[in-house]
Chain A
Amino acid sequence: MVYRERLDGRKNNELRPMEAKTKVIPNAQGSASFKIGRTWALAAVYGPREIYPKFLADPKKGILRCHYSMMPFSGSGERIRPGSSRRAQEIAMVMTKALEPVVDLSQYPNSVVDVFVELPQTDAGTRCAAITAASMALADAGIPMKDLVSAVAVGMADDKIIADLTYKEEHINEFNEESKQAVVSDIPIAMIHHTKELTLLQMDGEISKENLMKALKLGQEAIEKVHQVQIAALKEYFKEGSHGN
């Protein structure tokens, strides 16, 4: 057993401090900022609007289209060359899939709702932060949704089942000689709040079925805290006394 306590002193089920705000980008129909620890996602919703290229149009309903990008100075090492990467394309796709089950665009045939997410700084849990921010931005834009979607990464570092892994925890087996043998798995999940259905489930690493199910259970509980932050941020703007109200 290598990983005796979490590097930042958190409990296994404890998430990093979170901060969220809506209406951060005036030009957009809806927008939100979501920070968890040092991972920060900005999301902006444009639409429903006319869809280009036209062949993508669906005559039965509007299309949700997510875009994901890390700013060149947001990586923990060297500069990231701008431009789409395969990773970014894949994340954009899983983001869309994570949100589609709740979004109702039946009233907007032949249109698109674009969600753009950009990250000014990252420390693991990026796709989860992106989905969480996107979910708020869609609600802020008044897009009909059955529920909010919240996301967090759970996993195992060595023998600990933990929620909200940092970059260091994801790479714990690179620490030192002793830790090389440590087993790590990183499991980002997204969940529809009231049904507890998962809309995103991915895993990197190695894990037994038993631990996986434990991790998912931990994740479903931890996600409630993300959901609380989302609700508070959405409602905060409208409180009497906020931003000059």
Chain B
Amino acid sequence: MSEILVEERKIVVPGEVLASGLDYVPGENCYREEHQIFSKLLGIVNVSGRVIKVIPLSGPYLPKVGDKIIGRIMDITFSGWRVDTNTAYSAMLNVKDATTRFIKKEEDLSKILAIDDYVIVGIVNVTSQRLIDVSMREPGLKKIQGGRIIEINSQKVPRVIGKKASMITLIKEKTGCEITVGQNGLIWVLGTPEGEVRAERAIKMIEEKSHLSGLTEKIESFLGGNQ
């Protein structure tokens, strides 16, 4: 006889028993051992039909093709730049993927992107060894100028963006800032210093309280009236 032993949205720890019996299927961050399904993470239980999964409350970012991320130029090579993605894996940005204009052979690449510049790039390839290639050629991808970079745990990015981008739009409106969220947890905020600080506080608040109910109300209340 199968049964789920935890409530939806309950916080569980690694090794906690989520369900017993064979009718349920272990989804993300769960595993089955004989008749029981266990959590592999500190996270929140989610049950969808017969699939049980655990949503992480924290954790490292795994680079995926198609993700937009924010990185820091850490090195300049013959063919382009090496980008620090704030993970265990750096990324390669090739000259030809950085710009549409023609770059001459002897051109000084550091004049285009210098060390410690931050860039918004898209991941175009990830190998099994996690060698990453990124590109800056799509619209919206570019070198970052001005503003500041905030770091949050990458697992909280979906909450910061919100359903249909509702949360991030709310923050943008109430603080007057331009905000670009990288899937790797780095976020670029550009506005007045006061607006940037308020946006940062709101984002950090989401990171801390994302597991609680009524998050949207809390953020709305924090951001209050117009700036």
Contact = CB atoms under 8 A, between A and B. Distances in A.
The reply to whether A and B meet directly (CB within 8 Å) is: yes
Interface of A: 29-30, 47-51, 59, 62, 102, 104, 107-112, 139-148, 192-194, 230-231, 234-235, 238, 240, 245
Given A62-B88, A108-B88, A144-B59, 14 more contacts: A109-B128, A110-B130, A142-B43, A142-B57, A142-B153, A145-B41, A147-B14, A148-B13, A148-B15, A231-B13, A235-B13, A238-B212, A245-B208, A245-B212
Contacts of A142: 41-43, 56-60, 153, 155
Contacts of A240: 212
Contacts of A110: 88-89, 129-130
Given A142-B155, A146-B31, A194-B15, A59 B129 contact: yes
B129 A109 contact: yes
Contacts of A107: 62
A235 B90 contact: no
Given A48-B87, A104-B40, A235 B11 contact: yes
Contacts of B94: none
Interface of B: 11, 13-17, 29, 31, 38, 40-43, 56-60, 62, 87-90, 128-130, 153, 155, 208-209, 211-212
A145 B130 CA distance: 21
Contacts of B60: 29, 47-48, 108, 142-143
Contacts of A59: 129
Contacts of A238: 11, 57, 211-212
A192 B33 CA distance: 14
B61 to A, nearest CB: 10
B29 A144 contact: yes
Contact of A145 (B14, B57, B90, B129): B14
A109 B38 contact: no
